[in-house]
Amino acid sequence: MEDRRGQAEEFAQEWTAAEQRGDAAHAVGLQQGSVPGAHDALVVHEPEMVVVERVFRMAAEGFGVGKIQSRLYAEGLPSPRGRDVWDRRVIRKIIKSDEYRPLTHEEISELVSPEVLARLEADREYSVQWYNRDQVTVRTISESDGNGGRTYKKRKTQRRRPKEEWLAIPVPAYLPRDLVDRARAAMDASKGAERKHLARECEQHRGMHLFEDLVITEVVDKDNRPVPPGVYGHKVLVTVLFSRTMPLIRYGMSDSVKLATSPHCPCGRTFALIDGIQGRVEDVLRFPATSGEQVSVEPIVFHRVMDSVPAGGWQVAEGPEGLTVLLSGVREGFADVTLVDTLRRELKAQGAIVPQVEVRRVPNIPRTTVGKAPLIRARVPGPWRKP
Ligand SMILES: [Zn+2]
């Protein structure tokens, strides 16, 4: 008896502490209720929850995070922080968050103390908010500012604690569970299709072997008709066999590849070989467009701007909130701000919602393991990229 009471008090203290530390992040669509001092009185904030539901519905329909971002912009729905353009990480976080996934009474009872359980209304559905889940450490780091001085930035690192240490706080549920599950499954499936490598380079350097045991890859022309080995196709159709949540069937990817004419490779692998890839040598970057769709920006657009920069080397890399431009060996007197303006103007001309652009001076442009320094680098690399 004493023990239980102790548990409940400890729980209340932990909760207050979590709030004070600020790691109990504000959940979009939930707000503090009107009961003074009652920590567990979170209520649904309907205007926000309607937007959250919109995010889940789009995800369940198979929209990727980038497309959801564009649609929210086009529909004039500002981000939780009041910005016009949503951060893709926030969208992803919402879809993955347990705060929106209703649990059964049994499931809840395994996660909370009997005192907390007793306070819940029997005829309502609840989800959980996790407290004490992440340990956040803030460090100050110094970086060269590119002009001989140094700038200081705060870097936050986050470590997930073991699950036994997490604290579950019931919060009112609003969305149907199957909507949340469908949205998560669709997001996992599309991520899988983009991220999983389809082929791996052979050590005999004859090309790349397709992972034929995991993925069926068809090299086809514009009308989905197979092209013979030795001929470049217009695209590839990918069928993923290993995804349990949502198998992908003949998913079209705009890569032009060529199967090797000889099926035999000295390495002994029997998987088909690809010995030519066109396009995708550099990544095509995609941005949310002012039209509500997405715009693909071809490498040539960046080359036009970057090749006139008096620098020894450059790289344009996509980040979660915008672009980072790396420059090495820059001639004295060059103003980064001019480059930022030109890039933003070019992207606007392409129909993109203008992203943040950050220029960083570096001693060397980072190379991949195969020795090339890609000039344009997407955050999610193309599936043909060598490991
Ligand atoms: Zn081989």
> What does the pLDDT read at residue 75?
85
Q: Closest by alpha carbon to 301, among 366, 364, 352?
A: 352
- Report whether pLDDT(20) > 50: no
Ligand 1 centre and the CA of 265: distance in Å? 5
The pLDDT-based confidence of 116 (bands split at 50, 70, 90) is confident
Distance 156 CA to ligand 1 centre (A): 43
The pLDDT > 90 percentage for the chain reads 18
Question: Which of 142-146, 193-197, 254-258 is the least confident region?
Answer: 193-197
Between the CA of 387 and the centroid of ligand 1 the distance, in Å, is 15
| Structural domain boundaries in the chain | 2-132+162-190, 198-278, 286-377
Q: 198-278: what fold? A: Luciferase; domain 3 (2.30.38)
Distance 53 CA to ligand 1 centre (A): 48
CA of 196 to the centre of ligand 1 (A): 20
Q: In whole angstroms, what is the distance from residue 129 CA to residue 39 CA?
A: 12
202 C-alpha vs ligand 1 centroid, how far in Å? 5
Q: How far is the CA of 198 from the centre of ligand 1 (A)?
A: 15
For ligand 1, the distance from its centroid to the CA atom of residue 267, given in whole angstroms, is 4
Most confident of 167-176, 202-211, 278-287: 167-176
What's the confidence (pLDDT) of residue 55? 95
CA of 261 to the centre of ligand 1 (A): 13
Residue 84 pLDDT class (50, 70, 90 cuts): confident
pLDDT confidence of residue 369: 44
Compute the distance from residue 191 Cα to the ligand 1 centre, in Å: 28
Predicted local distance difference test score (pLDDT) of residue 8: 43
Give the DSSP letter string of 75-99. TT---TTS-SS--HHHHHHHHH-GG
DSSP state for residue 2 in the 8-state scheme: H
Residue 209 alpha carbon to ligand 1 centre in Å? 6
How many Å lie between the centroid of ligand 1 and the Cα of residue 177? 47
Condensed to tens digits (0 to 9), the pLDDT of residues 41-53 reads 677 888 888 999 9
Q: Is the sign of the CA dihedral 305, 307, 308, 313 positive or negative?
A: positive
Contact 316, 325 (CB under 8 A): yes
Give the residue from 108, 54, 106, 42 showing the smallest Cα distance to 78: 54
CA of 218 to the centre of ligand 1 (A): 19
Please state, as a whole number, how many other Cβ atoms lie within 10 Å of the Cβ of residue 20: 9
Count Cβ atoms within 10 A of the Cβ of residue 163 and give its class: 0-12 exposed, 13-18 middle, 19 or more buried.
exposed
Q: Which tens digit of pLDDT belongs to each residue from 260-316?
A: 888 778 888 888 888 877 654 466 788 888 887 888 887 778 887 888 888 888 899
% of residues, the chain, pLDDT over 70: 78
The architecture that CATH gives domain 286-377 is: 2-Layer Sandwich (3.30)
**pLDDT (tens digit, 9 = 90+) per residue, 135-152?**
888 888 777 777 777 878
Instruction: Flag whether pLDDT at 33 surpasses 70.
Output: no
> How close is the Cα of 206 to the center of ligand 1, in Å?
6
Ligand 1 center–CA 263 separation, angstroms: 10
Pairing relationship of beta strands 322-328 and 313-318 according to DSSP bridges: antiparallel
Q: How far is CA 146 from the centre of its chain?
A: 29
**What's the pLDDT score for residue 73?**
86
Structure-model confidence comparison of residues 232 and 372, the more confident one: 232
Q: How many A from CA of 100 to the centre of ligand 1? A: 47
CA distance to 39, 48, 69, 116, 354, per residue, from 8 (Å): 13, 31, 41, 8, 50
What's the mean pLDDT when you consider all of the chain?
78
Q: What is the pLDDT of residue 140?
A: 82
